[in-house]
Amino acid sequence: MNVPLLDLKGQYATIRSEVREALDRVLDSQHFILGPEVEALEREIAEYSQCRFAVGVSSGTDALLAALMALNLEPGDEVVTTAYSFFATAGVIARLGGKPVFVDIDPLTFNIDPELIEAKVTKRTRAIIPVHLYGQMAEMEAVLDIARRHHIPVIEDAAQAIGAELNRRRAGSLGDMGCLSFFPSKNLGGFGDGGMVITNNNELAERVRMLRNHGFRTRYHNEILGGNFRLDAIQAAVLRVKLKYLDQWTEGRQANASLYRQCLQSVQLPLEAPNRRHIYNQFVIRTSGRDELAASLKEQGIASEVYYPVPLHLQTCFQGLGYRKGDLPASEDAARTTLALPIYPELTPDMIQFVASAINYQCQT
Ligand SMILES: *Cc1c(COP(=O)(O)O)cnc(C)c1O
């Protein structure tokens, strides 16, 4: 049996005619950048994510970049974030001349360990960026408590977590700004790159709206230094169709996660922390024989993926920051022992049982 990590074709087949109608609407309008489709998506995502404002941008990376620009991040400013995430979380800080300050993770949830944050806060700290990794929200109460006491804004990297909840509050709505990604492999994925900044702060929303379009409100009158971080109408039209199915797809992912939990033995399963709605962008297990397991699965036609083999503090491009191996042990251990399994909603119970048997056989002690 062949089990890919992700199969978007099956999902597309179920919404094909609806998506093509939406695309036709954009093609007939010949309005390709921003405009009514993007505005409608912004309203719908704001509502879905329990935020007052949403600003469509060109990617999740640009959402993070624009959010930091909206806070006026300056060269030498420090931003505290997790050492275990996709590169963009830290890349945007350095691109603006800022200094990423890395904090280790809670080994059970893979999210930033709030108890380690305060020791990293200095006079130069301008933001904290927690990441809701793999679709489960970080310990936001503790993060926000530290941030409020030190008057530091919080940007939630919710690129993997649209619709995830903590105490019924949605990812991206708790901090000063939240950043979403519509990269095709995310739970809500477009037909190309896309992203969004969500916020309850009118002023920040207005700044991001200006920043995404060269810093102007009135064309040719550039008030602040921005860029081209605009979202395409075609992406917005596709995403509006897909948003209607997102909860149903999330339930499919959650059901798949439960089945894995019933079937898997001898590997560490991902923890669901209390009071969460986990949306399972990834289902990540741990085992000391990770590389052997991945190789054996591959031989049997089962795809898996290592997110992330090198923690951020040990990336070559961050050598200048002076971190060494051993500095952030929980992140380094996660990089060595975790493996993401196929979890997409269209997986069948047969496929999940096949994957689980292969793992149980390889990992039996
Ligand atoms: C995907 C992702 C991003 C970047 O999103 P893009 O749309 O690919 O630019 C940022 N942070 C995290 C945690 C992600 O998973």
SS3 (DSSP) at 169: strand
The tens digit of pLDDT for each residue in 14-25 reads: 999 999 999 999
CB 138 within 8 A of CB 222: no
* 99 CA to centre of ligand 1 in angstroms: 19
Compute the average pLDDT of residues 270-285: 97
pTM here is: 0.98
Whether 276 shows a pLDDT value over 90: the answer reads yes
Whether 338 shows a pLDDT value over 80: the answer reads yes
CB 164 within 8 A of CB 136: yes
Q: Is 131 in the pocket of ligand 1 (CB under 6 A)?
A: yes
Whether 139 shows a pLDDT value over 70: the answer reads yes
Q: Is 59 in the pocket of ligand 1 (CB under 6 A)?
A: yes
Compute the average pLDDT of residues 203-222: 94
Q: Is 269 exposed, middle or buried (0-12, 13-18, 19+ CB in 10 A)?
A: middle
Q: Is 111 in the pocket of ligand 1 (CB under 6 A)?
A: no
Q: Is 173 in the pocket of ligand 1 (CB under 6 A)?
A: no
Whether 365 shows a pLDDT value over 70: the answer reads no
* 85 CA to centre of ligand 1 in angstroms: 9
Residues 343, 81, 73, 325, CA torsion sign: negative
* 88 CA to centre of ligand 1 in angstroms: 6
Residues 6 or more apart whose Cβ sits within 8 Å of residue 51: 170, 172, 173, 178, 198, 199, 200
Q: Is 163 in the pocket of ligand 1 (CB under 6 A)?
A: no
Compute the average pLDDT of residues 62-84: 98
Q: Which of 142-146, 219-223, 242-246 has the lowest mean pLDDT?
A: 219-223
Compute the average pLDDT of residues 167-184: 98
Under the banding of pLDDT at 50, 70 and 90, the label for residue 10 is very high
Mean pLDDT (the chain) is 97
Q: Is 195 in the pocket of ligand 1 (CB under 6 A)?
A: yes
Which of 131, 157, 173 is closest to 68 using CA atoms?
157
Under the banding of pLDDT at 50, 70 and 90, the label for residue 87 is very high
Instruction: Determine the pLDDT at residue 364.
Output: 84
Whether 289 shows a pLDDT value over 80: the answer reads yes
Residue in the block written with tokens 């990376």: 61
Whether 35 shows a pLDDT value over 90: the answer reads yes
* 21 CA to centre of ligand 1 in angstroms: 28
* 57 CA to centre of ligand 1 in angstroms: 13
Compute the average pLDDT of residues 48-59: 98
CB 238 within 8 A of CB 19: yes
Structural domains in the chain plus CATH codes: 8-243 (3.40.640.10), 246-364 (3.90.1150.10)
Q: Is 139 in the pocket of ligand 1 (CB under 6 A)?
A: no
Whether 96 shows a pLDDT value over 70: the answer reads yes
CB 281 within 8 A of CB 249: no
